Amino acid sequence: MNKQSNKRKQSQDAIMDAARDEFIQQGFKGATVQAIADNANMPKANVLYYYQNKENLYHKVLEQTLEMWDTAIGDIVLEDGPKIALERFISAKVDIAFENPKASKIY
């Protein structure tokens, strides 16, 4: 990864962290792009450059959260039956709650 790509990724990560926190604290309606930019320590124009609007930011936060969930519960298969599926789901939920406590607060 070159220097410019690394800087871009760092900026996007900072924006996503700030967006996740803002949506958790304020909800979608109460969150603002300006507050996200302020919390990411960058100009609002930078946030809009990467994500264009608040809706895109929210969708990206949800997408990341769902990807985390899909990865955690991806080994559940129909043939295992409901008991094993529930055990794996609950185990995955507890693991995620400890590893990434904000993931459950975004909804």
Structure confidence by residue, pLDDT tens digits, 72-87: 777 777 788 888 888 8
**Predicted TM-score of the model (pTM):** 0.79
pLDDT per position as a tens digit, 36-75: 999 999 999 999 999 999 999 999 999 998 888 888 777 7
Dist CA 95 CA 80 (whole Å): 21
CA torsion angle for 21, 24, 29, 30 (degrees, to 10)? -60
Classify the C-alpha dihedral 22-27-43-6 as positive or negative: positive
Contact 42/17 with Cβ under 8 angstroms? no
Q: How far apart are CA 54 and CA 34, in angstroms?
A: 10
